[in-house]
Amino acid sequence: MDTVFDYEDIQLIPEKCIVNSRSECDTSVELGGRKFRLPVVPANMQTIIDEKIAVYLAENGYFYIMHRFQPEKRLSFVKEMKERGLYASISTGVKPEEYAFIEELAARNLEPEYITIDIAHGHSNAVIDMIHHIKKHLPETFVIAGNVGTPEAVRELEHAGADATKVGIGPGKVCITKIKTGFGTGGWQLAALRWCAKAASKPIIADGGIRTHGDIAKSVRFGATMVMIGSLFAGHEESPGETIEMDGKLYKEYFGSASEFQKGERKNVEGKKMYVEYRGPLQDTLKEMEEDLQSAISYAGGNKLADIRKVDYVVVKSSIFNGDRVY
């Protein structure tokens, strides 16, 4: 294992600018045969995305992954997206009933364009078997498998047929896996991403630990095709989490998918709940992310996302904020 570092330990080094305006920089990315406006996907969590947000994102050229925590709604969700002429992107687990669900989708000729296998410890035969099952019954579906944190896991899931792998065990804002188990990529997610990306032959989605828009550019630099984000998307007007008022300020609820609030019981809890500051409409954040990423591309001396991959970097060991708050 090389030197480890995380997002705040790194600064990317600027190259000579080749554009006259940041608006010339193209932030779009291709995944699974579709082009998306940003290399960013809101986390497939119940306080982050719902059907309405999924429709908004699909209609406006963004990637989305619907969560799997209301399993009874998934079939009609796929049907409705298809009726609207939109792509369908859903999540599944690995329990026996999920096998039947995949077969039902196939029997009804409702093949989602994207399925994400969403479990905590994705380097497992349970995920490999599910990849095989989806590929057998829904051969055209683009399969994202995770989560993992090692090159061995990336290679094994790719070999099993995954079209992309999701990297990140424990870096999430509402994650307590690192504390409760001692395992994961929490605290060195960016280095883990680099380690995994070197082994990957297919796209990688970096998942968890993004705290600033600059972290998106850093993820791209270290090999991510797409970046999954929870906490930065939790505070919007449209976010499904409950809105509360405290001392005259608005906050939105954000809880982990392995928290007792999601599970309804305190068993194998690896997530917590928090409240994030209310931050207005989702579209404003998406616009700001696009502008910030356009700016990042210009600092990379390029005019497209892939140009960020070429820049050099330095390890600054947590000093970039100089004690300042981020926002």
Ligand X SMILES: Nc1nc2c(ncn2[C@@H]2O[C@H](COP(=O)(O)O)[C@@H](O)[C@H]2O)c(=O)[nH]1
3-state percent breakdown (helix, strand, coil) of the chain, nearest 5: 35, 20, 45
Please pick, from the candidates 38, 54, 175, 232, the single residue that binds ligand NDP as defined by CB under 6 A: 175
Q: Residues 68, 92: contact at Cβ < 8 Å?
A: yes
**Site membership for ligand NDP, residue 41 (CB under 6 A):** no
CB of 174 to ligand X, least distance (A): 6
**176 CB burial (10 A radius; 0-12, 13-18, 19+):** middle
The DSSP string of 234-296 is: TTSTT-SSPEEEETTEEEEEEE-TTSHHHHSS-SS--B-EEEEE----HHHHHHHHHHHHHHH
Which does residue 121 touch among ligand NDP, ligand X, none (CB within 5 to 8 A, set by kind)? ligand NDP
Which does residue 93 touch among ligand X, ligand NDP, none (CB within 5 to 8 A, set by kind)? ligand NDP
**Site membership for ligand NDP, residue 258 (CB under 6 A):** yes
Please pick, from the candidates 170, 223, 240, 302, the single residue that binds ligand X as defined by CB under 6 A: 170
**Site membership for ligand NDP, residue 118 (CB under 6 A):** yes
SS3 label, residue 29: strand
Size of the site for ligand X (CB under 6 A): 24
**Site membership for ligand NDP, residue 223 (CB under 6 A):** no
Burial 26-47 (b: 16+ CB within 10 A, else e): bbebebbeeebbbbbbbbbbbb
User: Active-site residue 196, yes or no?
Assistant: no
Helices (H), 34-116: 51-59, 74-83, 96-107
Number of neighbouring beta carbons within 10 Å of residue 87: 19
Whether residue 235 is annotated as binding a ligand: the answer is no
Active-site pick, 17, 25, 175, 196: 175
**Site membership for ligand NDP, residue 177 (CB under 6 A):** yes
- Interacting positions 87-106 with ligand NDP (CB under 6 A): 93-95
Which does residue 223 touch among ligand NDP, ligand X, none (CB within 5 to 8 A, set by kind)? none
Whether residue 210 is annotated as binding a ligand: the answer is yes
Residues 54-83 vs ligand X: string with x where CB under 6 A?
A: ------------------------------
- Using alpha carbons, select from 321, 256, 324, 316 the residue that is nearest to residue 11: 316
Query: Which letter does DSSP use for residue 26 in this model?
Result: B
Please pick, from the candidates 25, 65, 117, 119, the single residue that binds ligand NDP as defined by CB under 6 A: 119
Number of neighbouring beta carbons within 10 Å of residue 271: 22
Bond into 147 cis (ω within 30)? yes
Please pick, from the candidates 34, 79, 82, 121, the single residue that binds ligand NDP as defined by CB under 6 A: 121
Which does residue 119 touch among ligand NDP, ligand X, none (CB within 5 to 8 A, set by kind)? ligand NDP
Whether residue 220 is annotated as binding a ligand: the answer is yes
Angle between helices 74-83 and 51-59 (to 10 degrees): 30
Please pick, from the candidates 210, 226, 282, 289, the single residue that binds ligand X as defined by CB under 6 A: 210
- Using alpha carbons, select from 67, 66, 63, 129 the residue that is nearest to residue 95: 129
Query: Which letter does DSSP use for residue 205 in this model?
Result: E
- Interacting positions 236-275 with ligand X (CB under 6 A): 256-259, 270-271
Binding residues for NADP(+): 204-227
The footprint of ligand NDP (CB under 6 A) covers 93-95, 118-121, 126, 147, 168-170, 172, 175, 177, 208, 257-258, 268, 270
* Residues tagged active-site: 175
The footprint of ligand X (CB under 6 A) covers 43, 45, 147, 168, 170, 172-175, 177, 207-210, 228-231, 256-259, 270-271
